[in-house]
Structure 1
Amino acid sequence: MSSSYLNTKALAELTGVAASTWSKRRLTGDTPPYRKVGRRVLYLRSDVEAWLDGCARQSTSDA
């Protein structure tokens, strides 16, 4: 598999957010886009980076 894909554990290590939290967030759609390959969940690194860029805020009052 290409290193351009991250599994949930690698996403957790990258973001500092627990893998179990990412699993729960997938239920509400509050995650970067992902792919299901059998039982595996894979995130394209460029999708994760774009999603994180979209989370940027200037102020704590930003919604």
Structure 2
Amino acid sequence: MHTLNKKALSEIETAEYIGMSRSFLRQSRMEGNRKGRTAAPPFVKIGRSVRYLKDDLDRWLDGLHRLEHLSESKEAH
């Protein structure tokens, strides 16, 4: 995977890196952080292009709530 050496990732690379779909990224960019939803990862605009900084993605992933079992997901909201 070439994304390990890059600082700014495309939407396709980001989806692969975080293990989510491109539609998740698009929807989260449009909707922002809505209650009851996973917070959107931060992104930057370079001209018309959307890019995700790898350092931001690592911090975002590290900041997600970790669960011991599925019933916790209901308690967190």
TM-score clears 0.5 = yes
What TM-score bracket applies, with the shorter chain setting the length? Answer: 0.7 to 0.9
Q: After the TM superposition, which segments of 4 or more aligned residues of structure 1 sit over 4 Å from their partners?
A: none
TM-score (norm 2): 0.67
Q: Which has the higher strand share?
A: 1
Are 1:55 and 2:69 an aligned pair?
no
Report the aligned-residue RMSD.
Answer: 1.7
- The worse-fitting range, judged by mean Cα deviation, of 5-14 and 22-31 is 22-31
Are 1:31 and 2:34 an aligned pair?
no
5+ residue gaps in structure 2? Answer: 33-38
| 1:34-45 map, 5 Å | 34-45=43-54
5+ residue gaps in structure 1? Answer: none
Larger-gyration structure (1/2)? 2
Residue matched to 2:23? 20
CA distances 1:32-57 after superposition (whole Å, capped 9, x unpaired): 21111122111110100001111032
